[in-house]
Chain A
Amino acid sequence: MKIMNRRKFLKKAILFIPAVGVLRRLVGDAHGKATAEGYDPANHLYGMGIDIDKCIGCGLCIDACKNENNVPKEPFFCRTWVERYVIKKDGSVVVESIETGKEKGRQKTNEADILRSFFVPKLCNQCENPPCVQVCPVGATFATEDGVVLVDSKRCIGCRYCIQACPYGARYLHPETRTADKCTFCYHRIVKGLLPACVEVCPTQARIFGDLKSMASRLVRFKRTKRIHVLKPHLNTEPKVYYASLDGEVR
């Protein structure tokens, strides 16, 4: 409800300040994205929460993402993936991606040896301080005002520097377009007020999407009530994907 009101308010505000509206539109066009009528990126900042305790490793998010975003079906091209951790009593750790794990043939661990095990969904962290944007020689990778890092596939020259620079392995080269690709938080959906495909499909609500600028968003509540952590904080990329119950073994 609140969100609806905000949007109506925004619509009016922008109608009253046509000059600003035109400017915004121009910026929107420059980025080549169709946004909903009256959408103002300046009023949003998107992030995602991941509740590790809730993830059951079903992999529906991976399929949903691949369908939504024309990601190649093979498990070597991922905008999002899910890692399965098995920590054994002797301290050793077995990790695999549930997709490539299928391909490779899963190693079975004797249940008696398991200390704990859990799943960790991964995706682009939409870093506040993104190294991928820094290294792109032509500015094809850029950060939007509402906090999403995007690749302009019409401009990308396919040098793959960004793939090297991302500490999280979140990027791949799309074999058809020959350009860099990665999670966009389903930008085409969220600007229309929809949820990213992975979030919508998750049966346990392990993925929480929201607007950090709106105090009423689920994400802000998630950040308030959980002990959260981000991946590789020492690299100072300032991720906007927040994990609850993150295990120290996860990198």
Chain B
Amino acid sequence: MSEELTQKLSELLREVTGFIYPNEVEIHWSILIVVYPYITGLVAGAFILASLVQVFNVREVQPTYRLSLLTALAFLLIAPLPLLLHLGHPERAYEIFLTPQLGSAMAVFGFVYLWYLMAVLLLEIWFEYRQNLVVWSRQEKPPMSWLHAALSLFSRDISERAVEFDHKAIRVITVIGIPSAFLLHGYVGFIFGSVKANPWWSSVLMPVVFLMSAIVSGIALVIFLYMVLTPLRGAQIDMKCLDKIASYLFYAVIVDFTLEGLDFIHRLYESEESIKILSTLVTDKLFISLWVIQILLGMLIPLAIMVAVKSLKFNDELRKLFYFVSVIMIQLGIFATRWNVVIGGQLFSKSFRGLTIYKMDVAGVEGLIVALGLLILPFIVLAILLKILPPWEATEAREGAVR
């Protein structure tokens, strides 16, 4: 292991430009730490979309409400994995709970995570599905009926009063949930934004930028899932719903773009000690991932598409196509955003005199294959969740009732 590492570092050393501190040859936070904020961002974004239905009573978005919740849960369950795998001693991870050093942003992760999982997501999903679970457990044959009965925690009351209580509970949880979602991801931004040693990270805007990009990616993901899953089960895509979510996405991208632009101009204008090395960083090492993928493909082109969709009257099919292409590009762009923050922040020396490079492993714990696996895993979890807690029936029944 050590020899392999030494060989790798010797190779890297040859590609270092300028001067870096000797301990900086090794890039410490790898692709897994890119995946981690990407995934938590999706959680926060999907949840915030779901909350729109509850808090602002946006009827059109109702068809994606349960899907958003389950998406958030699926990704949240996987979120700690990249962190865990990246530790030098994963078997000691529980120390974060036993002996947390509360001054550390990272120590708070465990608590924010548990709070969000237990107090917000699981509760909200439980109340949302409770009535269905009871009904399902009565209608079905074992073993599904057992499972659903167990999931309902063996509650049986589906009287009007009980269901009314469920709805009230959901509203309360959502009100707590929104700030919690903000906390979950804003805090991930804080992990980076509070590192004063690193001028690329150190910024008060970091948590806010993280949050906005999280909302963008979460909404884009739910649109993607909705557009893929609905035809798969032979149903019709609700265009009113799609248009509405897409316009949320549009505004979120604009805010995100503005914030990042502000951050950029601010740095350029202040022109601190680090400006030279950061300019080299963005024009050289990060050229493709920042200018081409994050900004051009991930923001400008999707924005242009959505402006076109809004101003020109395309038919449904064309709109669907445009939305679909946009959300994929946006997703790519947000992944690049995470990459540029995490990897970009480690490519320059804290002596501001040189740059190193990051060569991603393919195999190995911190390699590409594991990273891809971690990105696919939430979809598998989601598939299982969708089987156990089908989100559609109730929505459609409810819609029918409204009509």
Contacts and interface: CB of A to CB of B under 8 A. Distances in A.
Interface of A: 72, 74-78, 81, 83, 93-97, 99-100, 103-104, 122, 131, 134-140, 155-161, 163-173, 175-179, 235, 251
B14 A157 contact: no
Given A138-B101, A163-B23, A170-B23, A175 B1 contact: yes
A155 B197 contact: no
For the complex of A and B, the 9 pairs showing the least CB-CB separation, nearest first, are A158-B88, A169-B21, A178-B88, A167-B197, A137-B107, A139-B101, A95-B19, A137-B106, A172-B23
7 contacts: A77-B22, A100-B25, A134-B104, A135-B195, A156-B89, A157-B92, A169-B23
Interface string B74-93: 00000000010011111011
Interface hub of B6, B23, B196, B352 (most chain A Cβ within 10 A): B23
A135 to B, nearest CB: 5
A139 B28 CA distance: 19
B349 interface: yes
A176 B88 CA distance: 10
A59 B25 CA distance: 20
A57 B2 CA distance: 28
* Chain B, interface SS category: loop
Given A134-B104, A169-B22, A179 B89 contact: yes
B12 to A, nearest CB: 8
B157 interface: no
B195 A165 contact: yes
Interface in B55-98: 83, 86-90, 92-93, 95-96
B325 to A, nearest CB: 37
B26 A76 contact: yes
B26 A172 contact: yes
A157 B2 contact: no
B192 to A, nearest CB: 9
A158 B96 CA distance: 12
How many interface residues does chain B have, given as a range?
35 or more
Nearest to A84: B19
Given A135-B106, A165-B195, A100 B23 contact: no
Interface hub of B6, B83, B90, B104 (most chain A Cβ within 10 A): B104
A159 B30 CA distance: 11
Interface hub of A76, A139, A155, A163 (most chain B Cβ within 10 A): A76
Contacts of B352: 251
Given A158-B87, A158-B88, A169-B350, A138 B99 contact: yes
B21 A168 contact: yes
Contacts of A94: 19
Interface in B328-380: 346, 349-353
Given A157-B88, A164-B197, A176-B2, A78 B103 contact: no
A235 B13 CA distance: 28
Contacts of A251: 350-353
Nearest to A251: B351
Contact of B28 (A97, A100, A170, A173): A173
Contacts of A172: 23, 26
Interface in B18-40: 18-26, 28-29
A160 B20 CA distance: 18
B198 interface: yes
B384 interface: no
B196 A161 contact: no
A74 B101 CA distance: 32
Nearest to A75: B22
Contact of A100 (B13, B26, B88): B13
Contacts of B16: 104
Contacts of B22: 75-78, 81, 97, 99-100, 169
Contact of B99 (A139, A171, A175): A139
A155 B19 contact: no
A158 B93 CA distance: 9
Contacts of B101: 136-139
B136 interface: no
B196 A157 contact: no
A53 to B, nearest CB: 21
Contacts of A178: 88-89
A94 B398 CA distance: 71
Contacts of A83: 19
A93 B19 CA distance: 10
Contact of A138 (B25, B28, B96): B96
B10 interface: yes
Contacts of A179: 88-89
Contacts of B88: 156-160, 173, 177-179
Given A100-B13, A131-B196, A163 B349 contact: no
